[in-house]
Structure 1
Amino acid sequence: MTDSQYLTEARNLGTGSFSRRSALTGLAAFGALALAGCQTGPSSDDDAANDAQGDFPRTVEHAYGSTTIDEAPQRVATIAWVNQDVVLALGVVPVGMAATDFGGNDNQSTDWFDDALAENSGEVPTKWSETDGLDFQAIAAAEPDLIVGVYSGMTEEDYNRLSEIADTIAPPKDTAAFGAAWDETTRMIGQALGRDDQAEDLISSVEEQLSQAAEENPQLEGKTFIYGTVDPSAEEQISIYTDVDNRPRFLKALGMEQAPVVVEAEGEQPDAFFIGWSPERADELESDVLVSWAADESARDAIESDDLLNKIPAVANDRLVLQTDGQETLSVSAASPLSIPWAIQNVVPQIAQVLAPTESASPTA
């Protein structure tokens, strides 16, 4: 799949920026961090907020150079997705953010973001749609003093225009569009907010939850996976996510392994988020489980009845995990410190269930 095709899908999978069970259980380990200085714009408790922040000015390096932030940000706006989760998890309520136009809830947000916002009694941020690109006018109207786009497809032209509005943090150097890992995103945003220590604590908390999930689901250890899209009606019927993408990163953090056939194919396209795969070679996609997403459950019947796609070993062995809930898809594809605990509760059980060992027949005398 080409970069342009990936970015088209990115627009459909997230807030559209190129531009449920509660997540509070997962947030409990670091909820105190957010409570110690949560703010939206200027606060009446500025001293408490500033106690949680490091020294300023500070400079953040990114793909388009560097940004020096003279004072602790008071009004933070975010673009794309993931960024708003990290900002909130670090104790700052964004004044503005992109609406979650696909994969979100009725609030054009996500359950995990809304739960964290409610936990912190924060005001609902202003939202704008980014399905047709960045809305510079709406971003400016939010009057931010910092714009965060670490996880995004921000171009240099976008960066220059955003920088005219406020200090802007672009994606990391040498990272593809929407390619920043959740922990790297968290560290970089923590640096911009002057909350480096909180960012490290947050990362450690999420990593501990991933480790615990792996321990509680030992059937995942060492199992091979293919995470992709399988759709008989699509022009490219099989697309597979590579290790550059968040989805394989998530499963590998649980002790699973990318299928060898994918690892071999990745070597030919090391920077690609996706690799296309011919349906005529579907039987070569050997793995213990296949995770895919679709608009609704009818896609399963279409896959299983397709003469080529049903030869994918995981499909033939009834080990296809088909995500039809947009938030389930988004919680892993746009992984963040808020979405990962939610995904552990809502996505991991589905994968663990299809990999659960079956009872063998009792031995005969």
Structure 2
Amino acid sequence: MLAPARLLAVALVAALALTGCAASDSSGDGDKASAAKTRTVRTDYGEVKVPTEPERVVVLNHALAGYLYDLDVPVRATIPEDADGKGEFSPHWAKEAKEDGTTFLPWSVDGFDLEAILALDPDLIVGGGIGFPLFQAEKVYDDLSDIAPTVLVGKKLGDWRSQFSFLADDVFGKVDVYDRHLAAYDERVTEVKAAITPPPGPVSFLAFTGDGTAYGLVENVGLPSEFEKVGIEPAPVFAEGGFEVYGGGGDMFELSTEKAGQTITQPSVFVMGFNGDTTDVATLRKNPVYGALPAFRSHHAYDLPYWVLRGDYDESMALLDIIEKRFA
């Protein structure tokens, strides 16, 4: 929560701004000018008036920042990929981040540093997305809105298309940019599908945290659905297994080692880390449970980089290159 003094400061800034507008615009023409410089965005959290050309945007989810660079929107700061991490730019947008002078805000498992956000004087805050950053942003949404207009990408927007489309069209008024990117992606999907021989299917997906906890991926959302587009069929592991989704993301379910041995019986499996390359097929093969799985025994267990798990547009394009190289 913002300290009372900080909240008062925000209120005073807002009051002074309103007073200044009233004093300099007794005719009311300024209201029209102001309206022309903002747009109203409908979100799961209400309507938000945002600047049409923001200059100091703070992005409270590392996984959302790439969209803003694709849209040529200046990003003043974002958060590290991992809570309590020092932060590293994605290789897919590091060049743009350096050109913008983007910095990393402090971020911990306890939440965002609201005073650090306030000190940046943002004119727009973008947060939400999948998982923990959305949960934390929802908790302090009112406080964030006291600092600057705040748009949260809601949990219903669960893949890169819906997130990118919402930001491009609703928030920044650049739907033409999204349309061009989507067309390029669809063209690449067609190329890759024609070029590859899919591995034995259906396939399953496993993600591992740093402490070794395993998660299966829900087959009809996110990453598995991208594989399906190029002809690699996801197995209905979640649909037929009676699992519950983990946390607020809606794209994963937890698997004990014992349950993994009973469930991941598909001919092929893809393995990745969560927020880091935490393990690989060679390491898992040494575990008697994973080493005994059909996909491991037949050498149809495949490594993926951790960043494909909840990939944005650029990461999803890079995934297509990986698939083509491995299965062409």
Give, as a single letter, the amino acid of the residue that structure 2 aligns with 1:163: S
State yes or no: 1:108 paired with 2:88.
Answer: yes
SS at match of 1:73: coil
Partners of 2:267 and 2:300 within 8 A in 1: yes
Change (3 A) 1:195 1:279: same
In structure 1, give the amino acid aligned to 2:143.
Answer: R
Cα offset for 1:156?
A: 2.9
- Count of residue pairs brought into register by the alignment: 280
Tell me the alpha carbon deviations over residues 163-203 of structure 1, each in whole angstroms, 9 at most, x when there is no partner: 1111111123x63xxx6211111111112112122222222
Give, in angstroms, the shift of residue 245 of structure 1: 5.2
How does the TM-score come out when normalised to structure 2?
0.73
Q: Which residue of 1 aligns with 2:105?
A: 128
For residue 266 of structure 2, give the secondary structure of its aligned residue in structure 1: coil
Tell me the alpha carbon deviations over residues 262-292 of structure 1, each in whole angstroms, 9 at most, x when there is no partner.
4312x65368432233544515423232111
143-152 vs 200-209, which deviates more? 200-209
1:44-63 alignment runs, 5 A limit: 57-63=38-44
Alignment partner of 1:170 is 2:146: no
User: In the TM superposition, what is the alpha-carbon distance from 1:79 to its structure 2 partner?
Assistant: 1.0
Report SS of the residue matched to 1:95. strand
1:220 Cα offset (Å): 2.5
Question: What is the CA distance between 1:244 and its match in structure 2?
Answer: 6.4
Q: Deviations over 1:310-343 (max 9, x none)?
A: 22211111111134xxxx211x123112222233
Aligned to 1:203, what secondary structure does the other structure show? Answer: helix
Given the superposition, is the C-alpha separation of residues 144 and 250 from structure 1 closer, same or farther in structure 2, using an over 3 Å criterion?
same
| 1:221 and 1:254 in contact (8 A); partners too | no
Contact 1:242/1:275, CA 8 A, preserved across alignment: yes
- Preserved CA contact (<8 Å) 2:54 2:74: no
Structure 1 residue 230: deviation in Å? Answer: 5.9
Partner of 2:27: none
Q: Is residue 213–residue 344 contact of structure 1 (8 Å, CA) maintained in 2?
A: yes
Relative contact order, higher structure (CA 8 A, sep 6+)? 1
CA distance in 2 between counterparts of 1:222 and 1:192 reads 42
For residue 182 of structure 2, what is the aligned residue in structure 1? Answer: 203
The residue type paired with residue 136 of structure 1 is: L
Match of 1:337 among 313, 319, 323: 313
**Measured at CA, do residues 65 and 117 of structure 1 come closer, stay the same or move farther in structure 2, by a change above 3 Å?**
same
Q: Is the CA contact (8 Å cut-off) linking 2:270 and 2:303 kept in structure 1?
A: yes
Q: List alignment gaps of at least 5 residues for structure 1.
A: 1-54, 357-365
TM-score by length of 1: 0.66
2:44 is aligned with 1:66 = no
Partner amino acid, structure 2, of 1:321: Y
Identity of aligned residues (%): 18
Determine the structure 2 residue equivalent to 1:287: 266
- CA distance, structure 2, for counterparts of residue 87 and residue 296 of structure 1: 25
Give the counterpart of 1:269 among 218, 235, 244: 244
Equivalent pair of 1:89/1:116 in contact (CA under 8 Å): no
Question: 2: CA distance between counterparts of 1:250 and 1:129?
Answer: 33
Q: 1:150·1:188 contact (CA, 8 Å) conserved in 2? A: no
Task: Report the AA paired with residue 287 of structure 1.
Answer: Q
Give CA deviations for 1:140-168 in whole Å, capped at 9, x if unaligned: 22221111114241443321111111111
Q: Does the alignment pair 1:308 with 2:289?
A: yes
The aligned counterpart of 2:26 is: none
The residue that corresponds to 1:25 in the other structure is none
Correspondence for 2:167: 189
- 8 Å CA contact 2:42–2:48 kept in 1: the answer is yes
- 1:198–1:164 Cα change, 3 Å: same
Structure 2 unmatched runs, 5+: 1-35
Specify whether residues 70 and 230 from structure 1 end up closer, same or farther in structure 2 by C-alpha distance, changes over 3 A only.
Answer: closer
Give the C-alpha shift of residue 116 in structure 1.
4.7
Q: Which residue of 1 aligns with 2:72?
A: 91
Correspondence list, 1:137-148, <5 A: 137-148=115-126
Deviation at 1:344, TM superposition (A): 2.7
Change (3 A) 1:253 1:129: farther
1:76 to 57, 64, 70: 57
Partner of 1:83, secondary structure, is: helix
In structure 2, the CA distance between the partners of 1:277 and 1:69, relative to structure 1 (3 Å rule), is closer
Deviation at 1:247, TM superposition (A): 2.4
Q: Is the 8 A contact 2:195 2:324 kept in 1?
A: no
Change in Cα spacing, 1:233 to 1:90, as seen in structure 2 (3 Å) is closer
The Cα of 1:89 is off from its aligned counterpart by: 0.1
- AA paired with 1:320? A
Partners of 1:64 and 1:231 in 2: CA distance = 31
What is the aligned partner in structure 1 of residue 202 from structure 2?
A: 224
The Cα of 1:111 is off from its aligned counterpart by 0.8
Counterpart code for 1:338? D
**Displacement after TM superposition at 1:115 (Å):** 4.0
